[in-house]
Structures are given as structure tokens and as C-alpha cells.
């Protein structure tokens, strides 16, 4: 395939995909919306915040113009942070040429609770898209470590198209048609990963962490199936698979944030990091959904209070342990 692929977003995930697709001999365009960051990328050919020392080949065309991306690419991959997604889609709407779109952004709109694909369809009426999720720590992809992901679409042809486009010996792609499940799993796991980091920071051990993650999966399934996802999806790559990676990897931004809350405090950590912590707005979004639909999510509620009410993590853990006993 001689596709020209436009990657909309030059964070860690965008660069990792860009390098992978460049190795597969596709023409790759990489969009950086912020002029200051764009200048650094052009001058240094690297993202000094995410991948210091990893050079972006000259064969990847870096641009500050979304019009340039859409005008040249016949495939679009959107990987901007969730809080920037709606703004990006609004800009894209004016120039979109009906290219296949792959959504790699994980998260919910914290104001409306909408998934990224719902926002896309709100402004661009198309079924010519898919979503991708799974255990995809960007630094490991850049190093060439093997992983597997799932691509989901209501359009089977589009799902299979992207499966063939990006599958290779170190990046295996499965398909399904459960867009809701894939998006919910890919976003909800960030909440649970924050708690996993808190457990690591408190040095509470593997029993605690394993028990916590098991119950976290239960909350994912509870809210996810209510919202229309399939339980099988939450036990797959975009649910359990991504949750394991995000909860254990030293490169996980959400896990590291949770650990940072314990070690140096929330505010100091957020001032220090340049990374986007998707789990913070996602926690608020799912907390609001749980209250709106009266769904009990005790772990999510605890993480919400720790982040937004500055409650003591040790007290939250104790309260989770002594609440009313139930059947599994």
C-alpha cells in the first residue's frame, strides 16, 4: 500500500506511531499545533519531553499546518490529548476530505462525558473511522518491543483496512466492532492506574495491588456494560491488557502521577511534569457519569476525592476496606 498517513498530534503516541509507520515505508506527516513546540521539533528533530535522543527521520514531514496534513494524506490518525480533541475536530471539519480516520486518543470529554468517536461524529458525519487501543506504552513501541492492540469500527471494511495497514512483526492488530467497549476501556484504565501508583508510592505490596486491580476491572465492566460495551472487550487488549500495562509500567504517566501524589504531593508533581495526565479529567468525567446514572463505583469515587478534594489516600484505602461486605 502506498498510503500517505497524516498523524494529527506529535506527543509520545503520535511520534511512536509515526516512527513505526515510517519503518513500514509509508509517507508520514506529523502535525504539531503549537508553534513553539513545532520549532523545537523542526530544529532538533526530536521531542525532548517524551523521547530525548530519539531522532525523527527527515522522511517524516513535520508541519504546523492541519491543512497541509489533510491536503497531502489519504489516511488520518488522530492522537491529540482528549482535552484538545474537540478543538481539533472542529478545525478538521472545515477541510476534511473523507479520508479513513483512526482515533488513537484515549479519554472522555470531562464536560459532557462523550467518547472521542461521539465527538467526531458530532461534527463530521461519517462511519469511515475506527478507534485503536491496547497496551501501548510509547517508549516501548519506539524501542521495538512487540505488542498487540485492537482496532474497532462499525464498518468492518475500515477495521480490516487499518488492521492490514499497521500490522507487522512487532505490532499485531486484532479487530472487533465494539467501539464503545474499546473507548471506555482505554479511558477508564487511566483512573485505576492512578490508584495503582498510589499503592506503589505507599509500598503496600503485590497483594494489595492485585486485589485493587481486580476490583478496578469490576468497576470498568460495571460502567462499561451499562454504557453499551461488551464484557468480553473489557477482558481483552483495550481493557485488561491496557490496564495491566498502565498500572505497572514505570513509563506510565497515570501510574507515575499516583505515585507522585504520595512521594512529593499532587501540586508539586503537576508543576514538575510536562506530560499530559489523561486520568485526571477522565476521573472527573466518570465520577459525573456514576452520579448521573446512580452507578456505584467506590474506587473511582475514592480517586476523585484524592485528586479533586485532596483527601488522604490512606484514609480512602481504609474506607474502601471497611465498607459493607458483599458477594463477589
User: Which residues have a catalytic role annotated?
Assistant: 189
Measure Cα distances from 55 to 45, 274, 321 in Å: 5, 19, 48
Find out whether 27 and 5 touch, Cβ atoms under 8 Å.
yes
Residue 192: closest CA among 244, 136, 227: 244
Q: Which helix (H) or strand (E) holds 175?
A: strand 171-176
Rounded Cα distance, 278 and 280, in Å:
5
Find out whether 38 and 62 touch, Cβ atoms under 8 Å.
yes
Which residue has cell 472487533?
A: 176
Which residue has cell 459532557?
A: 112
- Return the SS3 of 63: strand
Going across the sheet that includes 27-31, the strands are: 60-63, 27-31, 4-8, 75-78, 101-103, 129-133, 147-152, 171-176
Amino acid at each position: 500500500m502506498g498510503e500517505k498517513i497524516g498523524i494529527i498530534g506529535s506527543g509520545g503516541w503520535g511520534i511512536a506511531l509515526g516512527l513505526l509507520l515510517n519503518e513500514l515505508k509509508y509517507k508520514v506527516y506529523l502535525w504539531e499545533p503549537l508553534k513553539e513546540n513545532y520549532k523545537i521539533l523542526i530544529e532538533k528533530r526530536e521531542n525532548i519531553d517524551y523521547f530525548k535522543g530519539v531522532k525523527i527521520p527527515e522522511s517524516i514531514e513535520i508541519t504546523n499546518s492541519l491543512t497541509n496534513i489533510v491536503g497531502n494524506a489519504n489516511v488520518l490518525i488522530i492522537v491529540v490529548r482528549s482535552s484538545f480533541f474537540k478543538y481539533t475536530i472542529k478545525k478538521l471539519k472545515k477541510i476534511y476530505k473523507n479520508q479513513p480516520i483512526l482515533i488513537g486518543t484515549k479519554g472522555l470529554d470531562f464536560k459532557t462525558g462523550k467518547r472521542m468517536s461521539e465527538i467526531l461524529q458530532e461534527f463530521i458525519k461519517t462511519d469511515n473511522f475506527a478507534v485503536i487501543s491496547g497496551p501501548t506504552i510509547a517508549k516501548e513501541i519506539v524501542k521495538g518491543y512487540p505488542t498487540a492492540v485492537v482496532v474497532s469500527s462499525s464498518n468492518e471494511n475500515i477495521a480490516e483496512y487499518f488492521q492490514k495497514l499497521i500490522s507487522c512483526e512487532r505490532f499485531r492488530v486484532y479487530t472487533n466492532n465494539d467501539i464503545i467497549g474499546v473507548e471506555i476501556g482505554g479511558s477508564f484504565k487511566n483512573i485505576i492506574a492512578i490508584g495503582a501508583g498510589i499503592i506503589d508510592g505507599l509500598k503496600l505490596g503485590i497483594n494489595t495491588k492485585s486485589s485493587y486491580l481486580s476490583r478496578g476491572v469490576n468497576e470498568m465492566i460495571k460502567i462499561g456494560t451499562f454504557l453499551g460495551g461488551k464484557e468480553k472487550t473489557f477482558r481483552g487488549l483495550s481493557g485488561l491488557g491496557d490496564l495491566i500495562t498502565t498500572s505497572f509500567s514505570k513509563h506510565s504517566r497515570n501510574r507515575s502521577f499516583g505515585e507522585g501524589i504520595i512521594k512529593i504531593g499532587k501540586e508539586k508533581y503537576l508543576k514538575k511534569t510536562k506530560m499530559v495526565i489523561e486520568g485526571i479529567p477522565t476521573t472527573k468525567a466518570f465520577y459525573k457519569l456514576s452520579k448521573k446514572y446512580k452507578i456505584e463505583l467506590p474506587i473511582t469515587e475514592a480517586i476523585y476525592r484524592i485528586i479533586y478534594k485532596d483527601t488522604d489516600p490512606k484514609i480512602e484505602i481504609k474506607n474502601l476496606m471497611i465498607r459493607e461486605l458483599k458477594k463477589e
